[in-house]
Structure 1
């Protein structure tokens, strides 16, 4: 869209595609709706003669496909005008230097939506002094940007060139960075329904919205029909679009992630909930976790059971022949310790698959490293004992110190205690807890939303 001043836009018009494909299915609310909201805002600004007199805002909007690497490639087009290219050795067929049209300069970029995409794009744009406005990113990952030069530039007296909604309303993004964030100016946009946008969006059609290059695809997806597009084959299972369909009349339309509070008001559902089918209330988002009957659980548990049975068989054999010369020569005390560590290593498999909870998470931390610590401590002590015996035998017939079974066990347990102490320090610094991720599986269709435990 041409204009005196050009703004960039990065929106997840499509979801992340499968392996080897950049883009997947169309995203209505977070993609098309947000993009049309930006176009609507530009129309309102450009139509107001008092807001920016004699200045028209233009836009260059690109699709991130919900993928950070793809968004990075797309964002490089925003800075093409700022990159100096050497064309001195390029000549046309008539010997004249070529006339290269320089792309318009983008002064700011709105987007992207996902935090991982916003962080990567912001790090590139800031090198060219292009202002990114990340309006839809989550706090968890974007808080990393707070620790980057964006906010740390404030310490040097520079103007921060990135803004994030809700930074001024919550303390979690600036935890342990209060001294850096003190005095910062934050942006907290007012969230409210705009009646004009609803009227604008439902009036969009194939004829009056040709500036949106993805609108034809949205039309097909929204009305479940097919247009006669040269690059697309007509699906016989879908009806043909007539072009007379209307948004809100022949298809459902509601603002992103909201439910109808009353006759005139819509409210956004909390992050752990989704709208009900009739959009009049919120309902809990289902939580998915690794189940015991899943192939991803059956295979490792089967291998763990085989290892536990094998280890138990070795322990029974050692107990049966406990006083034989072979078992005694192998260092039976440390051998039992070694077998205990191996048993714990196999046992941790069941804790990794069990439903996460405070107790389960605590045991995971403790046993995951404890099994390895017991195993390697016993092996190290046994190897050191044999080495010292042979080295002492070269010099004298006097046996070295601390080679008795009790001494060997004491050395092993001292080494194990170092691991246990580290785990308890970890408990004190970061207590065991569970996290439910509601953003990983939040598709355009809220009925398919899931939380990951």
Structure 2
């Protein structure tokens, strides 16, 4: 394109003499550098050549022609060959026409606002397309109408006293490059003021052929506004757009002088996401325009959808110029959308021309009813989209910035004709396109050559049909843009001109930076009755209408955009919809108010997790959580911790109530009953012993050790109750210590008894001296020492491994509170030492099994040990085999402990209780010491007769009455006679005292022993009367 070179020629000022040409040349060179950064045109060398060639004022004037500001309706005939088009007329003839023709709509005034409108549509084969009826012609007319209202109907004293507002409106054909070329006209006046201090030789001010444009209304599209804003920013010219919504334009570091009366797309995208959530859509596609308008919106949409956990199925781009991609491109796009049929909801962010082509492709690819559209303001309520695509567009919900009709504008517009609207150079073209006719001798266009019928100027709008007038719904923003400048100028005039009518020197020309500051402060009520003010970014208030396209008549079928009907609104309070007004056209459900489902997979039910499909994070299959799992997240099931079970809905886990073996459980009833009976029996034995403590049986049993043994037996029964208490650290410690302690008491006392008996009879074989440590006190000390060893062992072990309570989980549905010692068999530590005592005691029982019958308690102890060993041999395998059944393990332990105590109680104390309670006549010395008669080879007499004749039988040994028993002989042979006599005398002297102590029966052991010793005889096991255990404590041999 060569237009930038021509553009440079138009930028030169017209000085008063040729002497200023050197300044013009210098300025042209500097301006070239600026334009290179904001245009996409030919090379810098070409621009420079054109600039240098046009350095002469005369050459510039010849190429430029007269300014369109001075002759607004004069057409420029000089056009490059690139603007020639060959078209076929309705008669079939081919003609060449010049297209487009640069025109401008002007209104004279002291302050002239620039306007950049998309009067024509975008066309792929030429610079401009057909006339744009709504967003083009109507938008331009509402700007002119608002200026008229300011100039004619407003109170001139209050608004702009003594100041006439003018306009200079150009067409950008909805193309950014062409719009930028047109916008150069707006900066010419600002460039002229750069030489404002230059004076002509005669002292006069140079003549400036261009009006200063203090501000520009436009452009419509975001793409064009971005390009124009870059240019106007260089010259500090404020710009207010009425349709540009791209969020990129909110960046005030780049677009400092840009403002707009519409809200930013950032607000629109939030409204769209809220609508998607309100429709319960979780899987959608996005089709967006490949421009700053669409790309910025898509980036914001993607972020907001991700935050809302809404998945994007397809991301498709629409080319900005529909001509760059033919039907094949759009058909392929639709085919890709059809690959994701679950994504019925589609957000379309684009302009009307591209979306119209998309809807035609939907019809061609037989995809009608497959998708429900959410539209942006770029194509919302546009006839170009819905015309001939009614079934494809049906059900669309789109957004438009909240607007209302400009007061009386529709009446004004309907009154316009070609005859009374000469200031609009495109109105003839609009009239021809609207009524499909052609004015005589009008400029040929690629479109009006089709009409053969001649326009009369008397055509009228119909209420319906092809000649029906359809008003643009967002004209309010054009009017508000004009009024924003007016109110900013009013504030500036009030401050600069002290309220005096007319323009003062300070406002001519206007300071753009200062005007911008006033612009951001304006607050007014527009022609629609709505209040307006800019936000901190220079954007309009975030208010949107929800526009719905639906069938309003069945016979004949008729569709329309519901603009005036309040389908819904979006503002800072959120999104609100009137569902009664909304209908959808879905292929599955038909035409109904049922919202189509747009989801890749249905939501999983309670207790189900999403299993994401490969390469498709938004689609999943539902997997059931197992019996003991809960839904940790929507994608994962996790096992509940041990001791917990999942809730019925699998949202979490609850703790299983802890159980423990208590006294009221069926496991414990038996052992508790048995322990209670045993405990009562023990208490009864203790009571009987205390009551009969001075009787021979009690004395013979060894009272002190018997009480120790009874205490140990009672503790055995008591441990059942301790083992059935609710476990806690203290209870577990008592259990651990008590089990070993009770057995240590029992077996220490029994071991002391058997050891005492064994030592007495073992010593009797070798010496007549009494063994050491056989007194009751000594026995208690020995017993206490043995028990102390157990206590030390347990204290050390419990310090090393403190007993604690813990939860045990035999199965996933059980939570048992137990002591740790029940699980790790640490009770065996407590049993180790008592078992050692048991083994030693058993050994002693075996060793002393053949002592005289009078010492049969040793035999009872032996029987106790044998039975206890059998019990514990049976208990150990049962204990270890019940590791998973803690109640059974505890019950077995209680039973074994109680049985051990019972064996000791029965075997040791039952015979004594029998004599004390049932055979009291035997509880005397004579009965306990059943006499045995001695025999020899010649004669056997009573004990007393043999005593008198002992001297004659001194050399004759006494034989046991029962020959089957082995002899336990205390040999006194080879003793000197003096020793024998002395022992006899000592024994005779101690007899009264011994008898008093209960150690001997009436048949004196001492007499028998002394007779035997004096005769140098031996006495056997059977020769001794039955000597009880306590008697042995005082026997002196």
TM-score (ref. length: structure 1)? 0.48
TM-score (ref. length: structure 2)? 0.22
Q: Which has the higher contact order (CA 8 A, sep 6+)?
A: 1
